[in-house]
């Protein structure tokens, strides 16, 4: 008869067999607990490297915003009279002062019928033709009133984008009993003579279309500018091709002076973002090597060789000299007001940076953007070695942690299976012992009774 899984709790032997088994099992559990602790450490380290990845991604983004001259040298444009025009500048704009006289603004063509008594009054059926830029567009309304015609024109524009829309307008005109109160207004959606249109219709709509064609509310006109004594015309009130890199938004007739200059504030913001992003990475490195009050490591990444290597590499990039800047006075970040303190964090002196930018903006830009030695270029490339989603160092470390967690869990599962078997063996062993002692005690009692 099997006694596996049975425990008599020491009734025969007087021993606390449950306690003994528990103690023996707990002793064998120690390696499992150690492996679970190691697994938790691997998981935490992976999570912390993930946090580092996020910080490095932000640093990479800030470096990217500084690594080309077009990204670095932001320009700004100011108008002396923003009621006449406003201006904006791209990085291709040339610093300087420009005077622009707006003679007249571009206008979109608007035509209208002479009026009907109702938006739904019958005006005729048939086809109408709108000609835009030399192309005829034939439209067949689905009904016989102004609303049907406007709906058909707009549907055709929605499908073909011809740049002509229509609305039925209630003018409120009560003359002659409101006989001409409702007008069909047909308009170009863009200004300029090149966007003007003509409208006509076949026999059923000829009268109405003739009214509209002959009743111009607003004529299509082009923008007229005078720049340095030269007359310039454009079909739009947003002009982006008079000066390289400068876009003008024209508001009304008048004269305004445009001043284009380097936008030191915008550049300074981008540099500050780079400095802040780098300092957060340094803080992470520092936190991993911190000790608690008892002198013990606070982080499972304490002394990690990967972190030491990364920190050293990033500091080397920042400390490099760009001897191709074209100006020996501006070859290092420290010469631009960006210095490293005793903790390895950067400080940014905006005033000194602005002075350097004003003195030689091309050299300052080269310190960041030079194709081979630029600080932002080299930083971006260095970070890519860490953050690349396929071959990056952090991806490799993450994969290693995954394997370690998986292998450790496998060993834990095996050890737990062995422990379960061991516990069952102990239970069977002590159950057999109690059973044997019980039989011996019973036999002893029988012998004693015979002797009496």
Least confident interval from 35-39, 290-294, 367-371, 431-435: 431-435
E strands present in 230-348: 230-234, 238-243, 246-250, 254-262, 338-340, 346-348
Query: For the residues 20-34, what does the mean pLDDT come to?
Result: 82
Q: Is residue 446 part of a domain?
A: no
Residue 196 shares a structural domain with residue 167 = yes
Residue 179 shares a structural domain with residue 278 = no
Q: How far is CA 207 from CA 129, 188, 210, 214, in A?
A: 13, 21, 5, 11
Q: Is residue 3 part of a domain?
A: no
Q: Is residue 450 part of a domain?
A: no
Contact 211, 187 (CB under 8 A): no
Q: Is residue 447 part of a domain?
A: no
Q: What percent of the chain has pLDDT over 90?
A: 67
384-429 pLDDT per residue, tens:
999 998 888 988 888 888 898 888 888 888 888 888 888 888 877 8
Residue 102 shares a structural domain with residue 230 = yes
Residue 339 shares a structural domain with residue 406 = yes
80: helix, strand or coil? coil
Q: Is residue 305 part of a domain?
A: yes
Mean pLDDT, the chain, as a whole number?
90
> What is the torsional sign of CA 27, 32, 36, 42?
positive
Report the domain count for the chain: 3
CA–CA separation, 97 and 95 (whole Å): 7
Q: Is residue 88 part of a domain?
A: yes
Residue 245 shares a structural domain with residue 320 = no
E strands present in 210-351: 216-218, 223-227, 230-234, 238-243, 246-250, 254-262, 338-340, 346-348
CATH number at residue 129: 2.60.40
Residue 326 shares a structural domain with residue 411 = yes
Q: How far is CA 422 from CA 185, 227, 408, 418, in A?
A: 94, 96, 21, 6
Residue 145 shares a structural domain with residue 192 = yes
Residue 328 shares a structural domain with residue 285 = yes
Q: Is residue 197 part of a domain?
A: yes
Residue 85: name the closest of 70, 67, 106, 55 by CA. 106
> What is the torsional sign of CA 350, 356, 358, 362?
negative
Element (H, E) at 201: strand 197-201
Q: Is residue 5 part of a domain?
A: no
Residue 282 shares a structural domain with residue 413 = yes
**Structural domain of 211:** 110-218
Q: 11 — phi, psi (to 5°)?
A: -65, -35
pTM (predicted TM-score) = 0.69
Domain limit, last residue, from 164, 198, 218 = 218
Domain limit, last residue, from 193, 218, 243 = 218
Residue 344 shares a structural domain with residue 419 = yes
Residue 199 shares a structural domain with residue 65 = no
Residue 286 shares a structural domain with residue 318 = yes
Residues 6+ apart with CB under 8 A from 260: 75, 76, 77, 87, 89, 93, 94, 95, 96, 97, 98, 243, 246
The predicted pLDDT at position 9 comes to 52
324-340 pLDDT per residue, tens:
999 999 999 999 999 99
Domain limit, last residue, from 238, 262, 286 = 262
Q: Long-range CB contacts (< 8 A, 24+ apart) of 22-31?
A: 24/422, 24/426, 25/419, 25/422, 25/423, 25/426, 28/419, 28/422, 29/419, 31/415
């Amino acid at each position: 008869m099997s006694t596996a899984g049975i425990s008599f709790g020491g009734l025969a032997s007087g021993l606390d067999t449950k306690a003994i088994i528990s103690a023996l099992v707990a002793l064998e559990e120690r390696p499992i607990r150690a492996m679970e602790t190691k697994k938790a450490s691997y998981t935490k380290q992976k999570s912390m490297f993930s946090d580092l990845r996020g910080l490095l991604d932000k640093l990479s983004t800030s470096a990217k915003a500084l690594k080309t001259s077009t990204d670095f040298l932001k320009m700004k444009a100011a108008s002396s009279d923003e009621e006449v025009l406003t201006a904006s500048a791209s990085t291709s704009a040339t610093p300087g002062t420009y005077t622009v006289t707006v003679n007249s603004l571009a206008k979109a063509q608007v035509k209208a019928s002479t009026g009907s008594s109702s938006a739904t009054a019958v005006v005729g059926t048939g086809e109408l033709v709108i000609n835009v830029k030399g192309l005829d567009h034939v439209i067949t309304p689905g009904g016989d009133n102004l609303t049907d015609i406007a709906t058909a024109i707009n549907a055709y524009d929605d499908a073909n984008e011809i740049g002509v829309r229509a609305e039925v307008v209630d003018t409120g005109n009560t003359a002659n009993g409101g006989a001409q109160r409702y007008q069909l207004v047909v308009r170009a959606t863009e200004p300029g003579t090149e966007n003007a249109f003509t409208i006509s219709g076949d026999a059923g709509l000829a009268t109405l279309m003739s009214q509209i064609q002959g009743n111009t509310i607003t004529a299509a006109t082009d923008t007229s500018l005078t720049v340095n004594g030269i007359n310039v015309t454009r079909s739009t009130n947003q002009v982006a091709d008079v000066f390289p890199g400068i876009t003008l938004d024209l508001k009304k007739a008048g004269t305004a002076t445009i001043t284009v200059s380097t936008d030191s504030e915008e550049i300074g913001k981008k540099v500050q973002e780079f400095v802040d992003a780098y300092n957060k990475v340094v803080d992470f490195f520092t936190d991993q090597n911190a000790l608690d009050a008892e002198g013990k490591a606070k982080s499972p990444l304490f002394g990690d060789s990967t972190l030491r290597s990364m920190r050293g590499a990033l500091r080397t990039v920042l400390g490099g000299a760009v001897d191709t800047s074209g100006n020996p006075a501006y070859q290092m970040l420290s010469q631009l007001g960006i210095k490293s303190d005793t903790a390895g964090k950067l400080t940014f002196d905006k005033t000194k940076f602005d002075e350097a930018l004003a003195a030689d903006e091309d050299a300052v830009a080269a310190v960041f953007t030079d194709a081979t030695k630029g600080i932002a270029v080299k930083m971006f490339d260095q970070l890519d070695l860490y953050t690349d989603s396929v071959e990056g160092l952090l991806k490799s470390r993450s994969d290693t942690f995954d394997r370690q967690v998986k292998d450790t869990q496998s060993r834990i599962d095996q050890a737990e299976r062995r422990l379960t078997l061991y516990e069952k063996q102990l239970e069977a062993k002590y159950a057999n012992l109690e059973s044997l002692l019980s039989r011996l005690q019973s036999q002893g009692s029988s012998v004693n009774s015979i002797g009496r």
